[in-house]
């Protein structure tokens, strides 16, 4: 019995060293409280040109979500698109990392591989 416990401890130690348990934890994802059919705002850069989503706004006034790339534009109405939240998630599953972004906050990052920074929206 003691040998079996020691073996389990050794296996746990080896797997921990190689990050197996850490990588398993990373596969656990958050979910949006909104349905995947919820209409959200984005741009043609994200949808048609497949640009990376680098900023996400969750507005308090109307619970609206907006997803943007780093692209600059002068007239939002020329680039705006309405899509289902599920389409955004399908395009970039890392969005689920901020699925619990509170209303009145935004998240941003330099690129898809970067960590999100979260701040309160100020007028």
Q: What is the pLDDT of residues 12-45, one digit of tens each?
A: 545 555 554 444 445 546 899 999 999 999 999 9
46-90 pLDDT per residue, tens = 999 999 999 999 999 999 999 999 999 999 999 999 999 999 999
pTM, two decimals, is 0.75
Asked if residues 46 and 67 have their Cβ atoms less than 8 Å apart, the reply is: yes
d(CA 51, CA 108): 14
d(CA 100, CA 102): 6
Closest-CA residue to 89 (of 81, 78, 98, 76)? 98
State how beta strands 65-68 and 55-58 pair: antiparallel
Length of the chain: 123
In the numeric block, which tokens belong to residue 76?
């939002």
In the numeric block, which tokens belong to residue 16?
């921990």
pLDDT of residue 23: 45
């Amino acid at each position: 019995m003691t040998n079996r416990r020691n073996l389990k401890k050794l296996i746990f130690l080896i797997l921990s060293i190689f990050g197996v348990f850490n990588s398993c934890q990373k596969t656990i994802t958050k979910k949006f409280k909104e349905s995947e059919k919820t209409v959200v705002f984005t741009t043609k850069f994200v949808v048609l040109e497949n640009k990376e989503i680098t900023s996400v706004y969750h507005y308090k006034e109307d619970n609206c979500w907006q997803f943007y790339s780093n692209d600059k534009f002068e007239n939002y109405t020329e680039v705006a698109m309405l899509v289902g939240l599920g389409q955004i998630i399908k395009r970039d599953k890392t969005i689920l990392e901020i699925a619990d972004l509170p209303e009145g906050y935004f998240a941003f990052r330099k690129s898809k591989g970067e960590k999100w920074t979260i701040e309160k929206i100020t007028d």
